[in-house]
């Protein structure tokens, strides 16, 4: 087998095979930032926020278990198939790097788990599957050389920053397109900016400085429980935002009322019929369906002990709007 690629300042180490034990592979990445992390910390991933990644790296929340994720499993299983496809199309020898991880000696938190490379060259290969389970891939894919998801591009550029390769092929099976190849060359300016942001993120992980929340789920992760009987005075900015939100909430109610009025008219038009057609195109349907539910009130009344045994208490924070008191409103 050809000698594995190497570079000054980069160490090779063994790594679990994600196709055999994805949980062990994920656990081995906890103390570092790898290729699949870079798009997340840059805010480019549609699947995870920088805050979620931060909390995972600090061990404050568990990493998402992807061992039963069909898309991830399929991607792992097809990796060798895609590498073999690249080799046949380009009439070259492709070597898998599964079981090998690269680590930056100067910055040990920097790692790279690369899928493979073309023997005798300085070209790496990243194998991807996209949309094969859902049947619909990202609209970022296209026929042009630069038309691929920016998150995948970030991952490839992270690997290129280790200096092992001059370029990398992004080889992918994409729903709606089939097999595709994109060649991504090194760009030192992009790599420098990426390394700066990754270094700042890792410093925040070590120092316990969480990134700002970007989603409602982020806010729940940061502040899952309220401190009883506490309050804070709103700033001018928050007062302005509250006014804006009340205007939007009023518009939302108007829209909801309009939708309900139209729905009533459509249901009256349908009457006992199930489907409304425009030619052969289905517009709306109003079908009967069975819905079996447990009568909780009766269950608790007649089987109190059993109900108590199977009752699970949970806590959540509820975000409510409060109306000004009448006295203040008159003023």
Q: Residues 285-296: pLDDT tens digits?
A: 999 988 888 888
- Tokens describing residue 242: 């509250």
Can you give the pTM of this predicted structure? Answer: 0.79
- 42: confidence class by pLDDT, cuts 50, 70, 90: very high
Q: Residues 203-221: pLDDT tens digits?
A: 999 999 999 999 999 999 9
Q: What is the rounded CA–CA span in Å between residue 72 and residue 36? A: 12
DSSP conformation class of 122:
S
Q: Which of 213, 222, 4, 209 is nearest to 112 (CA)?
A: 4
Residue 56 near residue 205, CB atoms below 8 Å = no
Sequence length of the chain is 331
* Stretch 243-260: mean pLDDT: 95
- pLDDT of residue 31 exceeding 90, the answer is no
Dihedral, CA atoms, 254, 218, 149, 99, nearest 10 degrees? -150
pLDDT at 326: 63
Q: What is the rounded CA–CA span in Å between residue 243 and residue 216? A: 20
Q: Which domains does the chain have, with CATH numbers?
A: 10-220 (3.90.320.10), 236-286+293-324 (no CATH)
152 or 329: which leads in pLDDT: 152
Residue 103 near residue 32, CB atoms below 8 Å = yes
Q: Residues 84-115: pLDDT tens digits?
A: 999 999 999 999 998 899 999 999 999 999 99
């Amino acid at each position: 087998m050809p000698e594995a690629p190497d570079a000054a300042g980069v160490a090779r180490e063994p790594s679990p095979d994600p196709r055999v034990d994805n949980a062990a592979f994920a656990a081995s990445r906890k103390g570092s930032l790898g290729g699949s992390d870079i798009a997340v910390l840059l805010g480019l991933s549609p699947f995870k926020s920088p805050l979620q990644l931060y909390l995972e790296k600090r061990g404050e929340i568990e990493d998402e278990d992807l061992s039963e994720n069909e898309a991830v499993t399929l991607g792992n299983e097809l990796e060798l198939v895609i590498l073999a496809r690249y080799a046949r199309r380009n009439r070259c020898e492709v070597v898998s790097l599964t079981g090998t991880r690269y680590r930056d000696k100067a910055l040990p938190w920097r790692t790279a788990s690369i899928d493979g490379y073309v023997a005798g060259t300085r070209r790496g290969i990243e194998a991807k599957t996209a949309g094969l389970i859902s049947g619909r891939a990202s609209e970022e894919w296209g026929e042009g050389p630069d038309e691929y998801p920016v998150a995948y591009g970030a991952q490839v550029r992270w690997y290129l920053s280790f200096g092992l390769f001059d370029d990398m092929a992004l080889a992918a099976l994409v729903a709606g397109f089939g097999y595709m190849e994109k060649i991504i060359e090194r760009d030192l300016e992009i790599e420098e900016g990426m390394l700066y942001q990754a270094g700042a993120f890792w410093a925040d992980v070590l120092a316990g400085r969480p990134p700002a929340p970007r989603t409602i789920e982020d806010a729940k992760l940061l502040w899952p429980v309220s401190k009883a009987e506490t309050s804070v005075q709103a700033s001018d900015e928050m007062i302005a935002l509250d006014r804006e939100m009340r205007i939007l909430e009023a518009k939302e109610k108007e829209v909801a009322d309009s939708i309900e009025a139209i729905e009533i008219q459509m249901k009256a038009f349908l009457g006992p019929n199930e489907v409304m057609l425009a030619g052969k195109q289905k517009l709306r349907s109003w079908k009967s369906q069975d819905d079996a539910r447990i009568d909780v009130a009766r269950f608790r009344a007649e089987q109190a002990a059993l109900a108590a045994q199977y009752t699970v208490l949970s806590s959540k924070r509820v975000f409510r709007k409060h109306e000004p008191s009448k006295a203040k409103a008159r003023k």
